[in-house]
A and B are shown apart, each in its own frame.
Chain A
Amino acid sequence: MAQKTKVNAGSIPSSGSQLVTVAKYEFRNYFGSRRFYVLLAIALLVSALLTYVVASRRPASFLSSSLDFYANWWGDIASLMVILSGIFFGGDAISSEFQNRTGYFLVPNPIRRSSIYVGKWISAFIAAVIILAITLAITMANAFYYFGPSIPSEFIQSIAFSLIYLASVMGFCFLFSSLFKSSSYSILVSAILFLFVFSLIETLVASVVQTEPWFVPTYGASIITNVMKVPFPAHAVSQTFRGITITTYSATIIEGLEILLSYCAITAALGLYLFERKDFT
């Protein structure tokens, strides 16, 4: 073979380039993995069921207006697909490096752990966005069929909020993934929190403690659906029933964005901090 160029500290690519390399190969790994296709199948199945139900039952709540259609369809499906995507792609993104020992192949190279973390985060986010995009395409195809190619601006906002929520969920999943060395633990904790615990806390805090659940990410994510409701739900609605007052809270758009973006930043930073300090033992 021809003369080899000496590889030394000066020839190591920048951390940004290395981050892109990690994201690229991680993404290839997702595409070659079964879980990508399982999640794709779930997205297609849920979309197909909705398509069938709307076509056969013609529910008035869906077909009264274009905005109602998007509010009901996308509002129902977006949060679920965001949470599932986060769990599928981020749930064990870091913990698997420890449990499956792939970290022993990647980490002992001249690359910062932060580049590995961020690279994996970006690839998980992109893989999740692809699943969301497919779900979105089916949603829009149905909407175009019933209402023609008019897209309400509220729906565009809802898509943007879904992406911010995805970043927030991904942050949480990466945090738990950095916390545990077992893939099953990290996936399980993320799934239980987002599918059950956060919703339960949100309900209990609002109805029992009578406090706005501003610290719960699913509360912030309610803006994905609420932005498509006309009028936008009031921030606090109190109802008295047999002497008991129950207050229902809805996050304002600003408040929802603050909650989601805060969680995205805090969890991402905390997850990275843990990964930087975790030993491969």
Chain B
Amino acid sequence: MVSIEAIGLTKNYGSFAALSDLNIRMEGSKCVGFLGPNGAGKTTTLKVFADLISPTSGRALINGIDVHRNKRAALASCGTLVETPEIYPALTPRGALMMIAELRGIPKSERAGRITESLAEVKMEEWADKRVGKFSKGMKQRINVASAILSDPEIVILDEPTTGLDPRGMSEVRDIVKSLKKKGKLVFMSSHLLSEVTEICDEVAMIDHGKLLVYDTLANILSRFSSSGNVVDVTLARATDADKLKARISSLEGVASVESVDPLNFRVGIRGGVEAQERLLTDLVSLKIGVISYKDASLALEDAYLNLIKDTK
């Protein structure tokens, strides 16, 4: 089974401990979100796994192989995107990806096809033969995403992959990550966007001051650390008496709170996880109040995050 494991991972810069005895093991097909405030050690951890920095002590294992003892074997089945890499300006996206394909040992007969497929996945086919030098940050980031998935790796490590992308690009990258999960990959992804993590991650690891605070399934973290529980935004097709409506919704099973945002929009707090959320939707529809939109307000993870990470001093 594919796995990523940190054993006693420590990285010191002088007296500053960027990582302090980090121990975590994730395995199987899933997406693990890596959260923490600025300077918590997220990028440092991912850089250690990508051989961009060496740990002061401890081990970083990919599929049980130490990245710093046998990098070639460890990273053979792992695609990475850490920070926002730059590509040699004189190369084209096709040229840059061809270099990666050659380095990763993709068979010659498959290289052109895989490159075209990867470029299509990040919507960069039109730019395939233009020099990278004049590309915007977002365009380069798309090429970087294409590079990370080019060899169809079992494990993908992504450090804030939607950085620099426009809303469409962000959505497309999220779709790519979701499709990686469907293909049975293990995705380890850092992000500051809690809504993004809520949308695509199955498990969440939180880190602060170089130490792992918690690693669990998203549902468990929400139930353990979120005082507000799940929150959904409900939009109606027509305005109704707000007070009457609040009373009717409040009486439904699992509803913790109802807040009227405006005559057409309500925010409903739910006790329980995904099942309670599903039941509430059925109940709301059965009320025949004209529900036209029902979506997660993504506040629960934020609440859990704020409860776990009190400050960044």
Chain A residues in the interface with B (C-beta under 8 A): 1-2, 4-9, 11-13, 15, 18, 21-22, 25-26, 28-29, 31-33, 100-105, 107-113, 277, 279-281
Contact = CB atoms under 8 A, between A and B. Distances in A.
Given A7-B105, A9-B65, A25-B99, 10 more contacts: A5-B110, A7-B104, A21-B103, A25-B95, A28-B91, A29-B91, A33-B89, A100-B86, A102-B87, A110-B104
A280 B84 CA distance: 12
Given A29-B90, A108-B51, A277-B54, A101 B76 contact: no
A7 B153 contact: yes
A12 B85 contact: no
Nearest to A30: B90
A105 B103 CA distance: 12
Interface range, B side: 35 or more
Contacts of A9: 65, 72-73, 76-77
Given A7-B104, A18-B103, A102-B85, A108 B80 contact: yes
Given A25-B88, A110-B71, A110-B104, A104 B52 contact: yes
Nearest to A279: B53
Contacts of B153: 7
Determine which residue in A13, A15, A25 has the highest number of CB atoms from chain B within 10 A of its CB, and name it: A25
Contacts of A102: 85-88
B86 A279 contact: no
Contact of A7 (B80, B147, B151): B151
B50 A1 contact: no
A104 B82 contact: yes
Contacts of A12: 72-73, 76, 104-105
A111 B50 contact: no
B77 A279 contact: no
Interface string B96-137: 100110111111001001100100000000000001000000
A31 to B, nearest CB: 7
A101 B6 CA distance: 25
11 contacts: A1-B113, A7-B76, A7-B77, A12-B73, A22-B99, A25-B91, A32-B89, A105-B96, A113-B51, A279-B53, A280-B53
